[in-house]
Amino acid sequence: MIKLITAGESHGKCLTSIVTGFPSNLKISADYINEQLKRRQAGYGRGLRMKIETDKVEIISGIRHGKTLGSPISMLIWNKDWENWKEIMSVEPIDKKVDKVTIPRPGHADLVGITKYNYDDIRNSIERSSARETAARVAGCSIARKFLSEFGIHIGSFVESIGGIYPKENFAEKFLLNKIPSSYSAEKINQLSDKSSVRVLDKNQEEKIIRKIKLAKKRGDTLGGTFYVIITGLPVGIGSFVEYNTRLEAELSLAIMSIQAVKGVEIGLGFRSAELFGSEVHDEIILKNETFSRKTNRAGGIEGGISTGLPIIIRAAMKPIATLMSPLQSVDLSKMKSIDARRERSDFVAVPACAVIAESMAAWVVANLFLQKFGGDSMEEVKDNYSNYVKKYFTRVKKNFYSK
Ligand code: EPS
């Protein structure tokens, strides 16, 4: 239903985001998108690039007087750093000799990129594989986020750990045990996590993490971590088991695993459920406020590829940033000799940013499957389809099964 294409290299002139498939009359502004771009740039441990850029989107098409037209929405994010890269990243051939990058960084796309694309300069691989591309994703996915908010569907995230430092209490437990009121909005999570420079919910843990990041910087090393994304307000019935790639957990896992440096994604209890009895995992079904609910939410809001109507609980793991200032061993491809990897300006820790990007990616997946179910050409039409379904689905179940 909806499509997102991003284009642009990390140090090129600008990033481009093109979004198609959203209905007309969705209220959206550059300010709304820029708020998410600002959140993406934040976080203690981000690199010097974040001091150069103040990512803002320039909307080129698809929106008029603050509302979508239903036509393709194209947006630009200009790279201020381009001024310093005009020759290295020139589109046209230049006479001046540009030094080639010949030493791949362990843990990045450098070596596999030049092998796959037969590049003669690792710079060609660095530029598009860089996490800079996520700025364009957040811009495009913010349209999805705004769309979902029109239906009371909100997305929040918080960092669970950085460098193996965990909080005393795991806030996600409340969701796994379904101890959160059904009226709770995931936006409340961001109101808390965005106050922390590393987006954690525990002050004591934040201080320990900042100390560990300072230690990593001193050692010229980097850190990764884990984070949760929570989605509230989703009705039952989003996603489907009819095809492998319409399963909600599969789409969410792909989208979040596609973020640079993410190495693990789990839904609900995830890997922990592999160690428990079924009776300790499966969510017992109950009747509550004239509809179905569950005693717990260890399934993370998804059963059989379909949303249950409870909060979606996603947990992900991000590996440490690949560029180390105390480099690991590599090979100089120009001499085919072992050598220390190159230093390249970089982040030390980007887990807070990764969690914000994951919110955007989750919004995209949910908006796409939501439109598959309630699609329409205008927001008014989608809202009619949605409210008709929400009003009637429980009555339909009763009509099919229940006889006094
Ligand atoms: C990033 C901008 C770039 C990326 C960085 C994320 O920073 P710089 O211009 O300093 O290279 O390199 O991504 C990585 C650290 C990476 O390993 O890909 C951004 O805007 O988020």
CATH number at residue 268: 3.60.150.10
The CA angle 119-98-132, to the nearest 5 degrees, is 65
The secondary element (H helix, E strand) that includes residue 385 is helix 379-401
The predicted structure's pLDDT at residue 290? 87
Q: Is residue 400 part of a domain?
A: no
Cα–Cα distances in Å, from 260 out to 133, 264, 321, 375? 9, 11, 9, 31
- The pTM score is 0.97
- The count of domains in the chain is 1
Query: What range does the domain containing 262 cover?
Result: 3-384
Q: Is residue 401 part of a domain?
A: no
Give the Cα separation of 37 and 235 in Å (integer). Answer: 28
Q: Is residue 31 part of a domain?
A: yes
The predicted structure's pLDDT at residue 61? 98
Q: Write the single-letter amino acid at 341.
A: A
Low-confidence ranges of the chain (pLDDT < 70): none
Ligand 1 center to residue 36 CA distance, Å? 17
Q: Is residue 20 part of a domain?
A: yes
Ligand 1 center to residue 346 CA distance, Å? 6
The predicted structure's pLDDT at residue 404? 82
**Sequence-ordered list of residues with C-beta below 8 angstroms from that of 64, at least 6 positions apart, any chain:** none
| Token duo for residue 398 | 């009763």
Within 6 A (CB) of ligand 1 lie: 10, 47, 49, 81, 130-132, 134-135, 260, 321-323, 345-347
Q: Is residue 404 part of a domain?
A: no
Ligand 1 center to residue 357 CA distance, Å? 14
Q: Is residue 390 part of a domain?
A: no
Q: Is residue 249 part of a domain?
A: yes
The predicted structure's pLDDT at residue 333? 98
Ligand 1 center to residue 67 CA distance, Å? 32
Q: Is residue 402 part of a domain?
A: no
Instruction: Please tell me the number of Cα atoms within 13 Å of 64 on its side-chain side.
Output: 6
